[in-house]
Amino acid sequence: CLALGIGANATIFGVVDTLLFRPPPQVQDPERIVRLYFRRRLPPFGTNTSSITGYPLYTLIRESARSFDALAAYTYSQKASLGRGVDARRVRVVLASASYFPLLGVRPALGRFYLADEDRPDGPAVVVLGYGFWRASFQNDSGILGRQLQLGRSSYTVVGVAPERFTGVNLENVDAWVPLTTATPELMGPGSLNRGSYFLQIIGRLGPGGREAAEREATLAFRAEDVYSGGDSNAVALLGPVQHARGPELSQNARVSMWLTAVSVIVLLVACANVANLLLARALQRQREIAVRLALGAARLRLARQLVTESVLLALAGGVAALLVTLWVGPVIRAFLLPDIPALASAVDGRVLLFTGGVALLTGFLAGLVPALQVGRADLTPALKAGAGEGRYRRSRLRSALLVGQVALTVTLIVGAGLFARSLRNVAGQDFGFDPAHTLLATMDLRAAGYRPAQINQLNLQMLARLEGLPGVEAAAATIGHFGWATASSVSVPGRDSIPQLKAGGPYYQRVTAGYFAAMGTPVHGRAFTPADRGSPVAIVNETMARLLWPGESAIGKCFLVGSDKRCAGIIGVVPDARRFNAVEDASMHFYVPFTDDSSEFITALVVRARGRPQDLVAPVRAALQQTAANLPYAAVTPLADLVAPSIRPWRLGTTMFGVFAGLALVLAAVGLYGVLSYTVAQRSHEIGIRMAMGARRGNVLGLMVGQGVKIAALGAGIGAVAALAGGRVLSSLLYGVSPRDPLVLLGAAVIPLVVAAIASYVPARRAAKVDPVVALRYE
């Protein structure tokens, strides 16, 4: 029991330590490094706090905030194509200023980092490789220095290799770093360094002036940049720890950490109560021995200390077993909970060892405290009498209370698992506006490879023709705009002064080829586009747009104006709202127009509907795309289900997390109930013998003992259900389409421990029913 409880907490500590407390590997003096956040009002949405900003604000703070010893800017890892043709692959690249590595105090494992005079718009294309990428892709070849690598459309010279385990200050895998101002126009798009762009994070190393002075100077610079502060005179810059999850904006990692900690502590409390109950039963078995020792002059404190010491030794042994549990399941749990975060340390290191030892000592002390307190209040007279069973039996109230507490804590976890499972079913089973189960999305960054919009469109249409003839392809289409990509447009309706504005912004639009809705598996009310519609002023709108602009009437046949186009786009169809970025998001107006050859925009993706499993088409589709022309960059071909999955992951994680820990707590509670009832049967054998001698049947005895276990579980389930109702508001913001007071979940959470209690009680109850009255009635 202790091994499972402590092992669960040690494993979760390793995860939480990675997210919240462990400093980034190889970084020097991490306590002096801060991450900058920017808080301002965004009418009508309220206050917004974000660490994402733009290059002009970074340069202004760097030049004016003298309380920083150094300042650096960098991006999240960006996907880039390495190489060309069929051997091209996707790598993760961070764009960072030249001050990034010196600020962090890291030293290269090989070569050097790029210099300040190399980090300029017309600077040389140089790259620093990540250690893991260098080892996996180039087999630790020290001759990599000076070699040319094709990233995007440019050839980059390798100048160095980062130290082992260094991945920067964000918890993400990184393959390479490139100079910020040199690579931004190509990898992030033209104009990304201009005012109004948002793609950078800023870190700083505090100088002698301290945090308050640095925060004040950064705030003055932030307010001076009206584009970023929005003219808010109360806008402020905040300094947070280098660990992003501990910053002022509550990240997903921070939420995960809090819930992981909470559920693991509950499991530890269940294990602690379990062991305390078993130790209490053992102490009561030794009651006569303890009473004799007290009568002979032994100090109560000494005997209590002995019981606590025995409990601590038992817990330390459980701690050793817990380390084995952590070594075995730790990497699996961490890979599931943090799939995109590199393993920065082994599952068991010095920090985990210290934590495990501390938890074992605390658990042993708390578990041993209960029998120790009993010893301190023990009455010698009844204990010294022969057959002091009555005195022992009266003390079963405490054991029952501990069991009730275990069941109550377990029920709260079962309720959490049930609520998350219902939420997961609701999220995953909703109408996404397309069919993610049978559709592939193919993207290729031809712009970064140097192609112009007209060339990109021509090449994509050639690719589309190849895909349509590919075996296993049911339908295919091209689109300007896709899942994860939204373009807004101004819209007006003839005869109206304005249209409604939504929190999600918009309206958003896509240009698509004929067959797009068939490829996406989207039903169309009205008719879909045909090849004859190319260039015609027609449109298809989503249900939200149809409902808001033409309430109570059919939108088909109506028309609206797009931007400066004087032609009124006639609506020929209505489609369900399609998710743009996440599985759950606010409704927005969205419309579709036919693709035109003379468009200044370029195709961003191809969509392919598979007849069978979309995974089986990934390799053939990628090969067909990259064989369309020579030296093409990497083609990313991904099932839409995989793109939607990350936004469903919080509910999947919550379901698994609460489910696993609820199951573990249920096992611990069942073991505790079995142990206590087995002890009760042994202690009450004399009473049971009398009952059977007086005519009680074996079925009566069986029912008596099973009923005792079920009554304890019923009381615990009731208390747990009440606690879950009281704490349901904490979970409500994390749920989707289900109330924290869902009666089905509460009923199931109450019934499960009753069934488990009945099963756990059956074996000792069966043993009680087999008691021989003649043997039981003999005087002990």
According to the model, what pLDDT value does residue 206 have?
94
Burial group, residue 469, by CB count within 10 angstroms (0-12, 13-18, 19+) = exposed
Residue with tokens 């994402």: 52
pLDDT surpassing 80 at residue 259? no
Strand extents, DSSP E, 290-407: none
Please check whether residue 101 is in contact with residue 68, taking contact to mean a CB–CB distance below 8 angstroms.
no
Please check whether residue 573 is in contact with residue 556, taking contact to mean a CB–CB distance below 8 angstroms.
yes
Neighbouring-strand partners of residue 594: 512
CA 85 vs. chain centroid, Å, equals: 35
Q: Is the peptide bond before 531 cis (omega within 30 degrees of 0)?
A: no
Q: Report how far residue 559's alpha carbon sits from residue 665's, in angstroms, rounded to the nearest whole number.
A: 60
Q: What is the DSSP string of 92-130?
A: EEEEE-TTHHHHHT---SEE-PPPGGGSSTT---EEEE-
Instruction: Tell me which of 18 and 114 has the higher pLDDT.
Output: 114
Q: How confident is the model at residue 319 (pLDDT cuts 50, 70, 90)?
A: confident
pLDDT surpassing 80 at residue 311? yes
Note the pLDDT tens digit of each residue in 207-258.
Answer: 988 899 999 999 999 999 888 888 888 899 999 988 876 777 666 666 666 7
Please name each of the domains of the chain with its CATH number: 32-75+188-242 (3.30.70), 79-184 (no CATH), 446-633 (no CATH)
Q: Report how far residue 107's alpha carbon sits from residue 105's, in angstroms, rounded to the nearest whole number.
A: 7
Neighbouring-strand partners of residue 40: 48
Q: Report how far residue 518's alpha carbon sits from residue 515's, in angstroms, rounded to the nearest whole number.
A: 5
Report CA Rg, the chain.
33
Distances (CA, A) of 54 to 35, 50, 70, 393: 15, 12, 18, 72
Neighbour count for residue 566 (Cβ, 10 Å): 7
Note the pLDDT tens digit of each residue in 366-392.
Answer: 877 877 776 656 565 665 564 444 434
Q: Report how far residue 27's alpha carbon sits from residue 34's, in angstroms, rounded to the nearest whole number.
A: 12
Picking from 8-17, 48-57, 93-102, 623-632, which range would have the lowest pLDDT averaged per residue?
8-17
CA torsion sign for 376, 378, 381, 383 is negative
What's the average model confidence in pLDDT over 428-445? 92
Please check whether residue 167 is in contact with residue 345, taking contact to mean a CB–CB distance below 8 angstroms.
no
Q: Report how far residue 354's alpha carbon sits from residue 361's, in angstroms, rounded to the nearest whole number.
A: 11
Note the pLDDT tens digit of each residue in 221-234.
Answer: 999 988 888 888 88
Picking from 5-14, 297-306, 476-485, 570-579, which range would have the lowest pLDDT averaged per residue?
297-306
Greatest alpha-carbon span in the chain:
106
Neighbouring-strand partners of residue 476: 608
pTM: 0.80
